[in-house]
Amino acid sequence: MKYDRVLVLGGSGFVGRHLVAALVRRGVRVTVPSRHRERAKHLILLPTVDVVEADINQRGVLDRLAKGQDAIINLVGILHGDFQRAHVEIPMAVIAASRVAGVERIVHMSALGASPDAPS
């Protein structure tokens, strides 16, 4: 299956900006939601990227963004704040939105910065 339209959550972050650039080089149309569009200027300049000012924490936003996408990539990660929201609730909302929109491909990335002495 060819993925022509991809929604990238966390696309303005460290990993996201590199992934979005790679998708653009392949001719993929990429949608990147951002709470602060002006902070994603480096992505706005890319030819097939649509940076949308949106808060994916708001009800219904993911449903709207998922419509018409071939895949959703979730790169959301936080260092501080509501870990339950970022790492449990948002992924669950991504799955629900993909079902409603008929998106069959989801890629979810997570990172654990644990030290060798950490209990995890």
The average pLDDT across 33-61 equals 94
DSSP code of residue 39: G
Give percent above pLDDT 90 in the chain: 76
Could you say which DSSP state residue 85 is in? I
Distance between CA atoms of residues 118 and 35, nearest Å: 33
User: Over the stretch 11-29, which tens digit does the pLDDT of each residue have?
Assistant: 999 999 999 999 999 999 9
Residue 71 maps to which CATH number?
3.40.50.720
Residue 89 makes CB contacts below 8 A (sequence gap 6+) with none
Decide if 94 is inside a domain: yes
Q: How many domains does the chain have?
A: 1
For residue 83, what pLDDT band results from cuts at 50, 70 and 90? confident
| Containing structural domain, residue 101 | 5-108
In this structure, the dihedral spanned by the alpha carbons of residues 54, 95, 81 and 35, taken in order and rounded to 10 degrees, is -10
Cβ–Cβ < 8 Å for 39, 60:
no
Residue 19 lies in a domain: yes
Does residue 114 fall inside a structural domain? no
Q: How far apart are CA 120 and CA 118, in angstroms?
A: 6
pTM for this predicted structure: 0.90
Which among 34, 44, 27, 29 is positioned nearest to 13, based on CA atoms?
34
1 vs 84, higher pLDDT? 84
